[in-house]
Amino acid sequence: QENIPRSFLENILLELRKMGILGSQLGKSGGYYLLRKSNEVNLAEIIDHFEGTLSLLYYVSEKAYRPCEFCKDETTCQIRKVFKEILTNTNSILQKATLETPIQH
């Protein structure tokens, strides 16, 4: 038991329903169910929906991009290059990971 507030979980389930990942059924034997196979729902789409961006720095973000105030030329910035690679690799891993992945490990 994780002691997560019911209202918090209900909000998450509602969002997953809006995303087309879950369906729901009212009634005595009702509840939530997957609309897609667990191996067809990747973690990237869920995290993207709830968090918006995975970027650790705003100047490598695709959704919240702002220019770096310290770089004269972002194309030659080595820090940006490293964090862009981190973002790319993280996205790649999350695209491959599905709802089924944690169950397998």
Following DSSP, what letter does each residue of 83-99 receive, concatenated? HHHHHHHHHHHHHH-BT
Name the pTM for this structure: 0.73
pLDDT at 105: 60
Helix (H) or strand (E) holding 22: strand 22-25
Q: What is the pLDDT of residues 27-57, one digit of tens each?
A: 998 999 999 999 999 999 999 899 887 777 7
pLDDT over 90 at 79, yes or no: no
Spatial separation of the C-alpha atoms in residues 45 and 94, rounded to whole Å: 8
